[in-house]
Amino acid sequence: MRALGLLLMFMFAAVPAAAETLITSLSSHRVLINSNYTGTQIAVFGAIERDAQTVARATGFDVVVTVRGPRQFLTVRERERLGPIWINQDQQKFPSVPAYIGVLSSRPVAEITSDQLRERQKIGLQAIVNANDFTYSADGTDKPFREALLRLKMQEGLYLEDERGVTFLTPDIFRASIPLPAIAPPGNYEVEVTLFADTVILARTHTDFELVKTGFEEQVGVVARDWSLLYGLATAAIAIFFGWLASVIFRRD
């Protein structure tokens, strides 16, 4: 019995007490896309609950909100100018990358934690894009293509990093706004909220929301997905009809 008691004491001593608990919520878990959709924002609200015996931290808290959109297959090609034309050279395939990545933080990510932890836990836009599982290439030759993909996605507004995107309303309550441009693709978006203090991860939560097409756009999307051959033939027929109609209207006799 004494040995069993010592074993139980050792087990409970080895489990660290959870001093802080992170509670998060979204303003909406479903965004409807219609013909008038021009983009929107999703608000993230969070509260930090501390154990009654926990002493307030002198350095305060930091929060990083990471949003990943639906996965997609992408190919980045290197183009080279040959005389008056451009030709494709090398290429790099990205088999399953997020169509959207947003990183919002209470201050610059480089100031929140160490380089090693950022790379290991994929904290920050650069760490996500440079992660080993972002492509199947492991020899480093794909680095220029990663940089090109990051640059192009940032120009589109689909990859973004806001170093002041998280605002603390009180020392224990914070808010962040996730910007979603009009070109953000429909699908499921994963939201990860990470709480830091003294460069260490204290807690982490996961939730998600969905972008959904409605009305005529949804019907067209369903037909294009489930009846792809019929959709292609109908699109070609409509293009031929309007091309013929334009030639008749603007024909010069």
pLDDT attached to residue 82: 67
Domain map of the chain by residue range?
16-213, 215-253
For the segment 135-160, the average pLDDT, to the nearest whole number, is 86
* For range 238-252, the mean pLDDT: 74
Name the residue among 110, 111, 144 with its Cα closest to residue 127.
110
Report the pLDDT value the prediction gives residue 1, as an integer from 0 to 100.
Answer: 46
C-beta separation of 62 from 123 below 8 A? no
The mean predicted confidence, pLDDT, of the chain is 82
Whether residue 81 is predicted with pLDDT greater than 80 in this model: the reply is: no
Is 16-213 CATH 2.60.40.3880? yes
**In the predicted model, what is the mean pLDDT of residues 53-81?**
83
Burial (CB < 10 A; 0-12, 13-18, 19+), residue 138, is exposed
DSSP conformation letters of 35-64: TT---EEEEEEEEEEE-TTPPPPSS--EEE
Question: Which of 4-13, 134-143, 187-196, 213-222 ranks highest by mean pLDDT?
Answer: 187-196
Per-residue pLDDT band at 160 (split at 50, 70, 90):
very high
- How many residues are listed for the chain in this entry? 253
Inform me whether the pLDDT recorded for 8 exceeds 60.
no
pLDDT beyond 70 at 236: yes
pLDDT confidence of residue 204: 95
Q: Residue 12: pLDDT band by 50, 70, 90 thresholds?
A: very low
* pLDDT, tens digit (0-9, with 9 covering 90-100), for 180-226: 999 999 999 999 999 999 899 999 999 999 999 885 555 555 555 55
**Tens of pLDDT, residues 16-32:** 445 789 999 999 999 98
**Beta strands in 120-186, from DSSP E residues, in sequence order:** 159-162, 166-170, 173-180
- Asked if the model's pLDDT at residue 176 lies above 90, the reply is yes
When pLDDT is cut at 50, 70 and 90, the band that residue 65 belongs to is very high
Per-residue pLDDT, averaged over 40-61, amounts to 82
